[in-house]
Amino acid sequence: MAKIKVTKVKSAINRTKRQKLTLEALGLNKIGQVKEHEATSSILGMVKKVEHLVSVEEA
């Protein structure tokens, strides 16, 4: 299965609780933090919900 690298690029301040929890579920706490995930449908859906706060690239 393909892997993706998700990087947090913007702050979660003044965001909805749902978006904050989604970032936490992705393992992203600090700006600039990078996590690698399998490109499953659930992970891609979570990334889609916070795409304005993260950047995504293929690993």
Q: What confidence tens digit (pLDDT) does each residue in 14-42 have?
A: 999 999 999 999 999 999 999 999 999 99
pLDDT tier at 1, thresholds 50, 70, 90: confident
Average pLDDT for 45-59: 97
* Beta strand pairing call for 34-38 and 3-8: antiparallel
For residue 45, the surrounding DSSP H or E stretch is: helix 41-49
